[in-house]
Amino acid sequence: MLKVKNVIANDDYTLFVELSDGRSGIFDVKPYLEKGVFTQLQDLSYFKQVKPFFCGIVWPNEQDLSADTLAHGLKQVKAA
C-alpha cells in the first residue's frame, strides 16, 4: 500500500512529497484552493500545517488527500 513518508508545504501552495515507493516530487495544490473545504488552505499559515496521516496527508480541520491522489499529480524531481 502506497504511503506518504514526508510532506513539506511550500510558499507557492505546492507540497514536496516523499512516497513509500521511493518517488518524491512536487504536488500543486492550487487547483483545489477554490473547492469546498479546501478553500481554508488559502491561508498560507494554515496550509503549512499539513502532515502525513495514515497513507495520505491531512490538515488540522481534516482536509485530506490520499497517497494515490498525490502520486497521480506528482511532478517528480531528481535528487542532487
Give pLDDT, residue 77.
Answer: 76
DSSP-derived pairing of the beta strands 51-53 and 64-65: unpaired
pTM, whole model, 2 decimals? 0.92
In this prediction, residue 79 carries a pLDDT of 57
pLDDT at residue 78, as a whole number: 67
The pLDDT score that the predictor gives to residue 35 is: 96
Domain ranges within the chain, ordered by starting residue? 4-76
Classify domain 4-76 by CATH architecture.
2-Layer Sandwich (3.30)
Q: Could you give the 3-state DSSP secondary structure of residue 72?
A: helix
List pLDDT tens digits, range 19-74: 999 999 999 999 999 999 999 999 999 999 999 999 999 999 999 999 999 999 99
Q: Which of 26, 17, 27, 28 is nearest to 55 (CA)?
A: 17
